[in-house]
C-alpha cells in the first residue's frame, strides 16, 4: 500500500446547552447556504446555459452576509458554510459525470443535520476537540482510541433523528496495512432464509433485525399517528419511533461489520453476485426482508475492507445462472423455481440450492480473475440463451434467486 488509508473514527458526544444551540444554528445556516446556491446554479443553467462553479457561489455567500436578511450567516463559523458549497460542487461533478442524479434541496425536517469543519476551524490538543465559535471542548465518549499520533484533517459533527450527537474525525490510519496473503477463496451467495451461504457449505443465519422489533415499531407508529401535528406530544412520539429505527440500524450495521471483517481476514479472494437490489425491491412481498438484509451495505463493506487489507472482491455477472448450473458436471437445468431448495442433477449429484450457487460463483469468479478484469462467463448454448431470458424475467418480476 503506497499511501496510508484515510479513515473516519466516529464518536458520540454530549454537548452543553450553549454548544447544542451553536451547532443547531450552524446546521440551519449550512442548509440556508446550500439551497440558494443550488437554486442559483439551476437557474443559471436553465435560463442562460451557464455553469456556475464553486468560486462563483463562494462570492455569492460573501454578498449574502452583507445583506440585512442574511446577516446572521456571519454569526456562525464560515468553514462549514464553505464546505457546504464544496459539497454542492462535488454533487454537480458527479451529476455531469453521470455517476449520480441531479442534486436535491435540503429539507429542514428530513435532511441529515451535519456540519463539516476543516483544520482552520477546530483545535485538537491532548485528546480534546474544540470547534470554532466555542469556548469549551466537546464532551466526547472515546469508545476506542484514535491511531497513535493521528491528527484529524476534517471533523464532521452530526445529529441523528433520535437526537444523538456524533463527531466523525478523518485521520490517516497507519495501522491499516495489507494482511498476510491467504490462499483461501470463497464464493458468497446472498439470500433471505440465510443471510449468506458460502461455497465451503457454511450458512450464516439471517438475524432479521427489523422483524425482531416490528411489533414495538408498529405500536410506536400508531401512537405517533394519534398525536396532534405540531404538539409537544407528537415530537416525543416521533422521537420514540426514531429511537427504534436507530436501534435496528445499529444492530444491523454491527453484525455486518463483524461478518465482513471475518470474511476479509480469512480469504484472499471473495466472489459475490452483482445483484440489482433496486430492482429486487420492486417485489412488494419481499421488499421489507430484502431491505432488512442490507445486501448493498454488505457489499460496500466487503469492497472497502478488501481494498484496505490487500484482498480481492469479484462481482460475477448477475445473469450467470448459478442456481441452475451443476457445480459437479456443468449441466444447466432449464428451470429452477424459487421453492426448490434441493435438487438432483442427471449425474446423480444432489445439491443444496444455495451451496451449489456459491460454488458456481466461486468458479466463475476465479475464471474472471484468470481471464482479466471485465471478463464474464459466456453462455453460447441454446440452454444458456434460455437461462438468460428466464433470469431476466425473474429479475424484472422481483423474484430473482434469493
Residues acting as catalytic residues:
189, 273, 354
Closest CA to 360 of 395, 304, 389, 401: 401
Q: What DSSP designation does 174 have?
A: T
Cell of 355: 451451496
- Angle, helices 54-65 vs 78-96, to 10°: value is 150
Decide if 231 contacts 391 (C-beta within 8 A): no
Measured distance CA(11)–CA(262) in Å, rounded: 23
Q: Half-sphere exposure of 268 toward its Cβ, with a 13 Å CA cutoff?
A: 8
**3-state SS assignment for residue 64:** helix
Chain center to CA of 397: 25
Total count of residues recorded for the chain: 402
Q: What DSSP designation does 304 have?
A: H
Measured distance CA(314)–CA(231) in Å, rounded: 52
Measured distance CA(135)–CA(133) in Å, rounded: 7
Cell of 218: 408498529
Q: What is the 3-state secondary structure (H, E, C) of 65-103?
A: HCCCCCHHHHHCCHHHHHHHHHHHHHHHHHHHCCCCCCC
Give every CB contact of residue 247 below 8 A, 6+ residues apart in sequence: 213
144 CB-contact burial (10 Å; exposed 0-12 / middle 13-18 / buried 19+): exposed
Neighbouring CB atoms inside 10 A of 225's CB total: 9
Amino acid at each position: 500500500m503506497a499511501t496510508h488509508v484515510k479513515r473516519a473514527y466516529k464518536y458520540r458526544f454530549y454537548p452543553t446547552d450553549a454548544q447544542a444551540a451553536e451547532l443547531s444554528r450552524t446546521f440551519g445556516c449550512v442548509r440556508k447556504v446550500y439551497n440558494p446556491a443550488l437554486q442559483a446554479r439551476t437557474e443559471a443553467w436553465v435560463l442562460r446555459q451557464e455553469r456556475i462553479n464553486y468560486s462563483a457561489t463562494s462570492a455569492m455567500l460573501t454578498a449574502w452576509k452583507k445583506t440585512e436578511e442574511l446577516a446572521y450567516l456571519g454569526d456562525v463559523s464560515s468553514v462549514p458554510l464553505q464546505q457546504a458549497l464544496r459539497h454542492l460542487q462535488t454533487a454537480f461533478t458527479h451529476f455531469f459525470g453521470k455517476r449520480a442524479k441531479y442534486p436535491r434541496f435540503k429539507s429542514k425536517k428530513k435532511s441529515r443535520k451535519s456540519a463539516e469543519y476543516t483544520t482552520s476551524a477546530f483545535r485538537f490538543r491532548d485528546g480534546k476537540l474544540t470547534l470554532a465559535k466555542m469556548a469549551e471542548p466537546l464532551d466526547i465518549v472515546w469508545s476506542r482510541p484514535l491511531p497513535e499520533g493521528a491528527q484529524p484533517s476534517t471533523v464532521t459533527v452530526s445529529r441523528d433523528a433520535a437526537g444523538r450527537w456524533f463527531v466523525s474525525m478523518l485521520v490517516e490510519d497507519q495501522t491499516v496495512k495489507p494482511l498476510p496473503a491467504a490462499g483461501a477463496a470463497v464464493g458468497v451467495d446472498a439470500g433471505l432464509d440465510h443471510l449468506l451461504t458460502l461455497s465451503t457449505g457454511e450458512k450464516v443465519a439471517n438475524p432479521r433485525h427489523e422483524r425482531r422489533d416490528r411489533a414495538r415499531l408498529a405500536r410506536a407508529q400508531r401512537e405517533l399517528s394519534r398525536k396532534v401535528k405540531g404538539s409537544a406530544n407528537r415530537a416525543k412520539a416521533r422521537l420514540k419511533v426514531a429511537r427504534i429505527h436507530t436501534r435496528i440500524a445499529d444492530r444491523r450495521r454491527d453484525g455486518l461489520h463483524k461478518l465482513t471483517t471475518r470474511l476479509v481476514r480469512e480469504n484472499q479472494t471473495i466472489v459475490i453476485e452483482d445483484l440489482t437490489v433496486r430492482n429486487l425491491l420492486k417485489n412488494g412481498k419481499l421488499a421489507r426482508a430484502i431491505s432488512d438484509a442490507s445486501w448493498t451495505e454488505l457489499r460496500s463493506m466487503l469492497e472497502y475492507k478488501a481494498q484496505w487489507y490487500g484482498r480481492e472482491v469479484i462481482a460475477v455477472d448477475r445473469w450467470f445462472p448459478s442456481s441452475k448450473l451443476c457445480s459437479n458436471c456443468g449441466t444447466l437445468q432449464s428451470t429452477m423455481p424459487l421453492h426448490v431448495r434441493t435438487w438432483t442433477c442427471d449425474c446423480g449429484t444432489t445439491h443444496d440450492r444455495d451451496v451449489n450457487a456459491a460454488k458456481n460463483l466461486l468458479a466463475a469468479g476465479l475464471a474472471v480473475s484468470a481471464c482479466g478484469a471485465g471478463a464474464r462467463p459466456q453462455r453460447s448454448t441454446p440452454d444458456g440463451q434460455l437461462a438468460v431470458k428466464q433470469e431476466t424475467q425473474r429479475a424484472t418480476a422481483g423474484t430473482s434467486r434469493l
